[in-house]
Structure 1
Amino acid sequence: MKNILFGVLSVILGVLISMSVKEKSEIMSPMSIEKIENYNRELSVIENQINVDREIISHIKSSIEEKSSPEYLEEMKLSLQNELKELKILSGKYDIKGEGVIIEIDDSKDEDFKNTNLGVIHDIDIMIILNELKCAGVDAISINDIRVMGESEIKCMGPTVRVDGHSKATPFIIKAVGDMEMIYNMMNDKNSYLKLLESTYYMDVKIEKDKNIVIPKSDRRI
């Protein structure tokens, strides 16, 4: 009986030892070449992503350093100031001060044109002069201290000209703020419309430079 029990135990123990050796053998068995290649590919992808992340971080750091520099901050300040200036000009809600030119134009005093239709300043004459000023790159314009905007209405009303509902009589004083030398040279050119009025119809025309022109804010009453 003892021999039988011993035999059974021996068999069971043998089976258990065999199973244990087999499991350890599978765990410790070398990886296949295919698995190694897969791991290498995964590792390569991870390394590439790490390199990309490092480049992104480096770029962000450089950008932060650049935008924190005094030069960049000064550039941004000037840019914002210029943008604010443009918005103020476009809105017409603020007085505009600066250098530019003052143009004074009056009806002809010549006997041949005096009191004739050709010797009188019309709204079309004013509009052509304003267009030439705009071509000269002016920032702001006024007629007899009435601010002229892009949508301003200019009409002849007998001996006067109405600007956005304001009646103005001659002489007309047109002020323009901008590059003083450029505006003066263009308006004083022999081929300008002002010179045409002066030389052909003998209208009184004066153009002068001024470094302290004030263009009032818009006051439309239409």
Structure 2
Amino acid sequence: MHVSGKHVILSLVLFVFGYLVAVSYEQAQNLLEDEEVSVEEWDRAFYYRQQLIDFEERNHALEQQINDLRVELLQTETSLSEEQQNLMSAVDLKRELQAYVGELAIEGPGVFITLNDQDYVPDRANVNDYIVHDRHVQLVINELLSAGAEAIEINGQRLLHNSHVFCVGPVITVDGTTYPAPFTIEAIGNPDTLLQSLELDQGVIDQLVNERIEVEYGEKHVEMTPQ
């Protein structure tokens, strides 16, 4: 068989063409595989991105709930604080009223003033001019109250807003209880203010001494029991 130059050239052309086809097929196959990988990676990235968006939205919703709960808690604490203050004010008022009506024991700085009958009574003198009367006791009480006394008692008996003091011969009666002289009046309040009020020129002490009443007074820590 005789092989001409044309056959050789044709064979060479077919070989080159076949090689190019094979290479092109392989490249095309690789390209398809790369595209498939890219699509899978994109789907995976999209999934995780969507999960992240959902997580951020849930996180934002939880933060909003936490803020709402904080506001509600703050409002509750404010309300409880106001209620506690109101309760404390009510308790203080109750104690103040109880102390005012003598239901509670109280104590504090204050003063005492003791009034006693005159030991010496001249002959032919009127004895009533040398003993303590209810007006003397009331004079001291009024002065102490006007000077800011918070509570007053006579011979250990608390005086209330409706108390009555009156004289029966040589004794005085306080709300039905009778006491002989001496009469010790104790008051809780600012000692300096109370004493200054009693010691005013031509004041209570001077009047009592001028009416021949024996007077002893001074500063004292006063304790008063409930009535």
TM-score range normalised by the length of the shorter chain:
0.5 to 0.7
- Is residue 204 of structure 1 aligned with residue 214 of structure 2? yes
Aligned partners of 1:186, 1:66: CA distance in 2, in Å? 48
For 2:154, the equivalent position in structure 1 comes to 143
Which residue matches 1:102? Answer: 112
* 2: CA distance, partners of 1:92 / 1:106: 26
How far the C-alpha of 1:216 sits from its partner, in A, is: 2.3
Contact kept, 8 Å, 2:133 with 2:167, in 1: the verdict is yes
Partner SS state of residue 129, structure 2: coil
Equivalent position amino acid for 2:195 in 1: Y
Contact 1:103 1:206 in 2 (8 A): yes
Question: What is the aligned partner in structure 1 of residue 68 from structure 2?
Answer: none
Asked if 1:173 is matched to 2:184, the reply is yes
Query: Equivalents in 1 of 2:77, 2:120: separation in Å?
Result: 66
The verdict on how the C-alpha distance between 1:77 and 1:190 changes in structure 2, with shifts beyond 3 A counting, is farther
Structure 1 residue 67, shift from structure 2 partner: 5.8
Q: Structure 2-normalised TM-score? A: 0.57
Higher gyration radius (CA): 2
**Residue-by-residue CA offset, 1:25-66 (whole Å, 9 max, x unaligned):** xxxxxxxxxxxxxxxxxxxxxxxxxxxxxxxxxxxx9xx699
Q: Shift in Å at residue 97 of structure 1?
A: 0.8
TM-score after normalising by structure 1? 0.59
Q: 1:169 to 1:73 in 2, by over 3 A?
A: same
Offset of residue 111 of structure 1: 4.1
Confirm whether residue 216 of structure 1 aligns to residue 219 of structure 2.
no
Identity among equivalent pairs (%): 26
Cα deviation, residue 191, structure 1: 2.6
Aligned 8 A contact 2:151 2:188 in 1: yes
Give me the whole-angstrom Cα distance separating, in 1, the residues matched to 2:168 and 2:113: 21
Unaligned runs of 5+ in 1: 1-60
Work out whether residues 188 and 207 of structure 1, in 8 Å CA contact, stay in contact via their aligned partners in 2.
Answer: no
Report the counterpart of residue 116 of structure 1 in structure 2. Answer: 127
Equivalent-residue separation in structure 1 for 2:200 and 2:92 (angstroms): 30
The SS at the match of 2:104 is coil
Tell me which stretches of 4 or more aligned residues in structure 1 moved more than 6 Å: 72-78
Output the CA distance in 2 between the equivalents of 1:182 and 1:67: 41
User: Cα offset for 1:89?
Assistant: 2.0
Equivalence for 2:60: none
Secondary structure of 1:117 counterpart: helix
Asked if 1 retains the 8 angstrom alpha-carbon contact of 2:129 and 2:212, the reply is no
C-alpha distance 158-99 of structure 1, shift in aligned 2 (>3 A): same
1:133 and 2:133 correspond: no
The answer as to whether partners of 1:89 and 1:139 remain within 8 angstroms in 2 is no
SS of equivalent to 1:182? helix
What is the Cα-based RMSD across aligned positions, in Å? 3.1
Does the 8 A contact of 1:155 with 1:161 survive in 2? Answer: yes
